[in-house]
Amino acid sequence: MSALPKAAVVTGAGTGIGKAVTLALLQEGYRVALAGRRRQPLEEVVAEAGAAASRALVVPTDVSDPASVRHLFARVREVFGRLDLLFNNAGVFVPGASLEDIPFEHWKASVDVNLTGAFLCTQEAFNLMKNQTPRGGRIINNGSISAHAPRPHSAAYTATKHAITGLTKSTSLDGRKYDIACGQIDIGNAATDMAAKFAQGALQADGSVKPEPLLDLAHVANAVLYMASLPLSANVQFMTLMATKMPFIGRG
């Protein structure tokens, strides 16, 4: 068995949850391929990693583009020689609108990145994991509270996150024969740039606007590290991690 550190791919690694998880994995000793549309934020994350930066690989990637995804995993195979962990994290949240007012382009962007991107990366991860020695690996999908309950004016995002749950289940089932484990972390109100506005006020189901609490990103990173730390004989199938007082239980 290779003595090399475990190898991971994190999509959407340049900001928010992806950045926090990438830095945590690097500090834990992983080799990490950072994937994201823009090179500069990825390189800034690597610079922030300090001494652990030597185990980082920056691969600008558009997860909605099959050729770009194939290039990402080819680089991982070339540089790392194997893949132990994929964190499917890349996602977009298009401007809020009532369902009948959502432009087709916004719907398509959500599906292309949030769902098709996760599928393409999972497919390439399967091809690596099932043929490597030792065989297998782990895939963790970033779901959302929206995989359970929608916010108003979020049909595109919510539909893709519900679909991620189906992808997680199918990945778990089809991955069994290859020793590939798959789980999903559903995160509520992590303190990212995207969610910062919730602290000022978020539209509620009754039409009111109320501030919502946020969750420190460190807790998200620690949760993903825990899921990743398990042997392949054990799996966190679904984990919900949220700010304790966010309106989820009883939402609507």
Helix axes 155-175, 117-129, angle to 10 degrees: 10
Distance of alpha carbon 172 from alpha carbon 235, whole angstroms: 10
What are the DSSP calls for 211-235, one per residue? ----B-HHHHHHHHHHHHHS-TT--
Asked whether the bond before 134 is cis by omega within 30 degrees of 0, the reply is: yes
**Catalytic positions:** 157
Beta bridge partners of 51: none
125 contact partners, CB below 8 Å, separation of at least 6:
9, 73, 83, 86, 137, 139, 180
What six digits make up the tokens of 7?
A: 């190898």
Beta strands 238-242 and 180-188: pairing type? parallel
What is the sign, positive or negative, of the torsion defined by CA atoms of 191, 215, 211, 206? Answer: positive
